[in-house]
Amino acid sequence: MNKRFWLRSPSNKLGWIILLLLGVLAALATIATAVYFKSPIAQTANLTLSVDVTADRHSISPDIYGMNDYALDPAIAKELRIPVERWGANHTSRYNWLVDSSNSGDDFFFVGGGDNKNPIPGDSIDKIVKTNRKNGSKSIVTIPMMGYVNKLSIWNCGFPVAKYGAQEKTNPYIFPEEDKCGNGKRPDGSLITDNNRLDVSIISDAAFQKAWVQHLVKTHGTAESGGVQIYQMDNEPSGWGNTHRDVHPEATSYDELRDRTYQYASMVKATDPTAKVLGPSDFGWPVYVDSGVKDDREKHGGVWFGRWYLQQMRACEQQKGVRILDYFDEHCYPVVDDLCLANCPAGDAKTQAARLRSTRSLWDSTYTDESWIGKSNPPLTIIPRFIEWIKQDYPGTKIAITEYNWGGLESMNGALTQADILGIFGREQLDLATLWGPPKSSEPGSYAFRTYLNYDGKGSKYDGDTWVRSHSTDQELLSIYGSQRTNDGALTLVIINKTSKKLTSNLSLKGFKSAGKAQVYTYSEANLQAIVRQDDLAVSGTGFKATYPANSITLVAIPKEKA
């Protein structure tokens, strides 16, 4: 039926009334939805920004802009001079420097070695350290301390079908059919537990690793002279019993992690006293709080695993007179029930919205984690929590997150999230961070880093050593991160519009006298291959008003009035 005719017909007054009521209900629903989801329609009227250059001033560590394995795209390291590069991950737990090879463990059919029939001891890591030095990057090198390392430089595997029989899955690559490598599970899914740990591995101890640290010092110099600056005490030790169950099927206990860290960290400090040590580098919330060994936490006074680790490192210093732990490091990946965020593509609208929200788990005491974790725990507030632990359990220890990834780095959504994370790291006083799975230099995620490290293509940076108070009345819509540069005194602001609509906001400015108009640079969906210089912005003594494009990252650089 023609709707216009139906509405005008006198015989359809009831229909008119019903439609009228439906319209009212629809309008109310729109308003309610806007309020509930904090949409720009409901919020922009009161959306304001403020910056007080005299308040909350603290240093911003340049090491928060690090990456893992940027060698996948060396161009980004060369352009941005990434401050820290980490050589880590599961396979590094099994690295044997003498044959220059590792074993991937359960990540890839317990395969180790390669095509290298004439290995040069430590060669692949030496190349990484040399490249980092050339790029001006600090090196983080993982020291295996699990007790076993890979035996051979040629292809090998922990559960060959020829020896251990048919298995649930076999490696479809590398090996001929008669030498297939299995996943260490029988066809019914049960674990193979009677394997020989020395099939493809050798026993490793602190003395074995000391020879490697000595090699690194001899080859590259001490940490203070430009060699390896930071040594990580293995990788995700609470995962050994799963990832490396062919040689370490047991769960890692409180005491085992402490004792191994004592041995290997003390060795590093004795070999290169100028080097820093980082640990425990565990995989996430479940092992922040417990080891996974039955009744282990109860046997240690109910103290959370991460805190107990800090307490034991402090006890070691008090006993030996030497600090063996410089960075308390944990890995951090977002979790939202039924959604894939970390290391995943951008996803649908629901996933993208959750990705942007979930950065609040790093700092916000009003945010309940949207996963099983949040259902049984207080707000995560990960960085403030770690700061409080250190304050109470081992003052003076720095904080690191050497693996994190919120996903979507191939998209604008991932870029917005990454820019937000880098701003949070600076505001919350993290000391070091290295992104897992860096973006390619052409992908949007890399422009989040460019905003902070090279926004004009000429080396200009947001990071000026000093954080200044910067606040948004609704950070879920429009977030702001402020810094004052040391070299020229300029005030730099990163402002992120996380919505699909342009937002206009007043910014009030206190404690800063502008020397003139501000430079404005914007990265948005209008041009995903460049940070675009905009018209200069007039700044008064009390601030400015500006409009920020939908889904955009804006850098505002305000020159300081000369004295």
Q: What is the pLDDT of residues 505-559, one digit of tens each?
A: 999 999 999 998 999 999 999 999 999 999 999 999 999 999 999 999 999 999 9
Q: What pLDDT score does 487 carry?
A: 87
**Token pair belonging to 387:** 């700061």
Residue 136 CB contacts under 8 Å (≥ 6 apart), including other chains: 81, 83
Q: What pLDDT score does 374 carry?
A: 92
Q: What is the pLDDT of residues 17-38, one digit of tens each?
A: 333 343 433 443 333 333 333 4
Q: What pLDDT score does 78 carry?
A: 84
What's the rounded mean pLDDT across residues 142-149?
Answer: 98
For the chain, the average pLDDT equals 91
* pLDDT band per the 50, 70, 90 thresholds, residue 45: low
* pLDDT band per the 50, 70, 90 thresholds, residue 563: confident
Residue 442 CB contacts under 8 Å (≥ 6 apart), including other chains: 529
CA gap 4, 23 in Å, rounded? 15
Residue 6 CB contacts under 8 Å (≥ 6 apart), including other chains: 12, 15
**Token pair belonging to 258:** 């402490």
Is beta strand 276-282 parallel, antiparallel or unpaired with respect to 519-524?
unpaired
Taking 90 as the threshold, does the pLDDT of residue 16 lie above it?
no
CA gap 44, 478 in Å, rounded? 10
What's the rounded mean pLDDT across residues 85-96?
Answer: 97
CA gap 77, 439 in Å, rounded? 11
What's the rounded mean pLDDT across residues 145-157?
Answer: 96
Q: What is the pLDDT of residues 230-241, one digit of tens each?
A: 999 999 999 999
Instruction: Give the start-end residues of each E strand in 33-153.
Output: 48-52, 58-59, 66-68, 84-87, 111-115, 138-143, 148-150
Q: What is the pLDDT of residues 240-281, one digit of tens each?
A: 999 999 999 999 999 999 999 999 999 999 999 999 999 999
- DSSP element (H, E) containing 479: strand 478-484
Taking 60 as the threshold, does the pLDDT of residue 364 lie above it?
yes
Taking 80 as the threshold, does the pLDDT of residue 70 lie above it?
no
CA gap 89, 92 in Å, rounded? 6
Q: What pLDDT score does 69 carry?
A: 87
* pLDDT band per the 50, 70, 90 thresholds, residue 10: very low
What's the rounded mean pLDDT across residues 485-491?
Answer: 92
What's the rounded mean pLDDT across residues 405-412?
Answer: 98
**Residues 422-444: b if buried by 16+ CB within 10 A, e if exposed:** bbbbbbbbbbbbbbbbbbebebb
Q: What is the pLDDT of residues 314-358, one digit of tens each?
A: 999 999 999 999 999 999 999 999 999 999 999 999 999 999 999
Taking 50 as the threshold, does the pLDDT of residue 42 lie above it?
no
Q: What is the pLDDT of residues 539-550, one digit of tens each?
A: 999 999 999 999
CA gap 401, 288 in Å, rounded? 13
What's the rounded mean pLDDT across residues 154-158?
Answer: 93
